[in-house]
């Protein structure tokens, strides 16, 4: 619907009795056509689900929400968060700098195609992520088919390294 939530996390998703998922708490959401930064004097979003561009204080778009969905998928399949730390800053820096761990290492029952979706959703470089939730949903439907072919691990088209130097005061969690 053209809304960027900017704080997707399990606490903001409600499962209805009929199985429908509803996103809640649009307190920091904005329209995708609005031109505003995601950070003023502090990073916006829950640190466990925050995208690298939000950590850097850069403009976010729908791909930031896709990153958060990828983190939630990892958590559901692995039973643990991909990035842990003693402080919010430590966790945020891991989102910014550390490669995404393999969900298959935590849960060998996850097919490579599903791990690829998580890896594409959680790419550090937004150019390597899905452009839309519809695109991600299409891949999910394909990978869950019984006759889905086995895939090789995803390879990113764009660099995931040295995207941008962290600016002074950009990370305030």
Residues marked active site are found at: 7
Can you point out the beta strands (E) in 56-122?
Answer: none
Contacts for 97-105: CB closer than 8 Å, 24+ residues apart: 99/160, 100/74, 101/74, 103/73, 103/74, 103/77, 103/78
Nearest to 114 by CA among 141, 143, 136: 143
CA distance 10 to 28: 16
Q: And the tokens for 123?
A: 């790419």
CA-derived radius of gyration, the chain: 16
């Amino acid at each position: 619907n053209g809304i960027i939530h900017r704080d997707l996390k399990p606490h903001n998703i409600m499962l209805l009795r009929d199985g429908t998922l509803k996103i809640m708490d649009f307190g920091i959401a904005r329209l995708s056509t609005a031109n505003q930064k995601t950070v003023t004097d502090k990073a916006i979003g829950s640190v466990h689900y925050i995208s690298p561009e939000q950590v850097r204080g850069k403009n976010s778009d729908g791909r930031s929400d896709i990153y958060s969905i990828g983190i939630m998928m990892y958590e559901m399949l692995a039973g643990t968060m991909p990035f842990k730390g003693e402080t919010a800053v430590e966790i945020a820096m891991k989102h910014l700098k550390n490669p995404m761990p393999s969900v298959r290492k935590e849960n060998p029952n996850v097919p490579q195609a599903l791990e690829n979706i998580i890896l594409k959703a959680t790419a550090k470089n937004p150019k390597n992520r899905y452009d839309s939730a519809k695109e991600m949903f299409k891949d999910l439907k394909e990978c869950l088919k019984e006759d889905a072919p086995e895939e090789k691990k995803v390879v990113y088209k764009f660099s995931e390294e040295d995207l941008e130097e962290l600016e002074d005061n950009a990370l305030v969690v």
